[in-house]
A and B are shown apart, each in its own frame.
Chain A
């Protein structure tokens, strides 16, 4: 029998559901238009050569030039990228080991850790923000651990919590589906745990680790609320810069830089999709595999 959605002519039931098909097609396309609407607006307004973002006042590339030559903007983008990389590294390390441990050797502690990770994921950002700032100040000032006064350190720590929970779930989902006998076989062949890990486990969970790292990177780039609470002057990440401009006045440079960042994100994701596509064990191909991994199934 044919797969749903494929062409199967002359079945009487087909004619009955055709209006539903058109409805779904229209709905789907409208949905995509809806999703892209503000993005298109931002991209269009990035070519606004006026003074404020909201009032369109002529078309030009001035905003792009201004954005790239504005030291505050460039600095905040740099801070964001460094933070995102740091977060990806930390979250991937923490999350991969935790995911493996949860699947391979779950003990009495496993339910507890799962609840903890779930708690991290359901806590609203604002609650994390208000708890981390006093905590950093307590650690950094009251207890003299100067590392916690460094803006970048604070940002990486703040962003890595949620990200490491996400990576844990992704890796765990991936590993649950994997047969343990490969690792057992390696152990039988006297491979020490480290080599078992690097030669067997890691390559098999590679797509999960990569998608986890990417997700951590992108989540960190997007983090606004917690970052705005804990950031230190001079290490202002990009979304916090925008948030601050929101209160004063928005300039077209912001739209310009956002468009550039969007292009950057797309390039990174395209590379990721390419890497994942080449992996034969990724389910359903690049994008779907990434999604499945993201949602943790």
Chain B
């Protein structure tokens, strides 16, 4: 009779709390199990279109948010966007994950498509599911970098230049040589370069009259010593998604693409503060393309989305927002009728087009990437 009494005295606290503790243990176990099950069902990348989403891996601020919500209301799938700042970053992520990234669509620049296809990162496109491809102008389909559009469809095309803060840089800048010069003088410590290894190289090549696709080791060595000795100390940041910096007047000199420059200038409280420059020596010409990632969990939604964006009305909305030429037949007239702001930055005039050169994947690519890494390491004070 005495023993139960003693046990109670022996461990009073434990007995008192045993119920709540058991409930706690059981509760957390139950919670854990439910959480795990919930997680498995919501996070299943391989679940196909049952989860009804669409995951797009693209550049920053590269789609009109209204277009995306319109797509969701029209077709159903909710879109998630993840962004990258350069093609190597996108390729690195896709190839490291070997198809498990969960992305459906990616947006490679033209020069990378062959490489990505060879590496097995892209799905071959079934054109029967993209009837709106017929809306594209001849210039952007069946191109040398993707004959027959096996892997990609044109999203938009554009060129590279820079903007500068006219309140800080009081002189007129007109060329890449001016850009590199101002970077070392007025804009020192307040300039940014694109995160794109090749684009940074092109600033030097164009400023020195060298073909942007050069593989001459002497040229590349000269580029290396210039960029690391002369420019690296003055760089404040490497940034591809520049419109936020432009609109908040964060830097004096910003290397950027024409559409981002336009977005930034239009969003700036003082629209005349930044001036966009089409450099006189010429610049890079590029085309960004929709491509479907191999192993895409929502392939149907991917095709639907790409087809949706190729519609002239939707394409016009995109163009009005992102400021890049989407390559749809008659888009320029439609845009001008819609009173597009700063058409000069979207529709490139013929005399500028003459000086633009398509970038190519050359044998010097590896060296140029290495120089860019060194530049990043040496940059800033």
Contact = CB atoms under 8 A, between A and B. Distances in A.
Interface of A: 51-52, 54-55, 71-72, 75, 78-79, 82-83, 85-86, 88-90, 92, 133-134, 136-137, 140-142, 146, 149-153, 156, 182, 185-186, 189, 198-200, 202-204, 206, 213, 232-236, 244, 247-250, 280-281
Contacts of A150: 39-40, 43-45
Given A89-B29, A150-B45, A202-B25, A72 B81 contact: yes
Given A72-B80, A85-B35, A141-B99, A232 B43 contact: yes
A236 B80 contact: yes
Interface string B146-187: 000000000000000000000000000000000000000000
B355 interface: no
Given A72-B81, A203-B17, A248-B83, A152 B40 contact: yes
B373 interface: no
A136 B42 CA distance: 19
A185 B10 contact: yes
Nearest to B55: A233
B247 interface: yes
A141 B28 contact: no
Contacts of A250: 244
B55 A248 contact: no
A125 to B, nearest CB: 17
Contacts of B236: none
12 contacts: A89-B29, A92-B28, A137-B97, A149-B100, A199-B14, A200-B11, A202-B21, A203-B13, A232-B100, A233-B57, A247-B241, A249-B61
Nearest to B72: A71
Contacts of A72: 80-81
Nearest to A75: B80
A152 B43 contact: yes
Given A151-B45, A249-B243, A134 B96 contact: yes
Contacts of A79: 42-43
Contact of B35 (A71, A86, A248, A249): A86
A221 to B, nearest CB: 14
Given A141-B98, A149-B100, A244-B82, A199 B29 contact: no
B45 A248 contact: no
A235 B7 contact: no
Given A89-B32, A203-B21, A249-B241, A280 B96 contact: no
A232 B38 contact: no
A187 B303 CA distance: 67
A152 B100 contact: no
A247 B85 contact: yes
Q: Which of A51, A52, A72, A150 has the most CB of B within 10 A?
A: A150
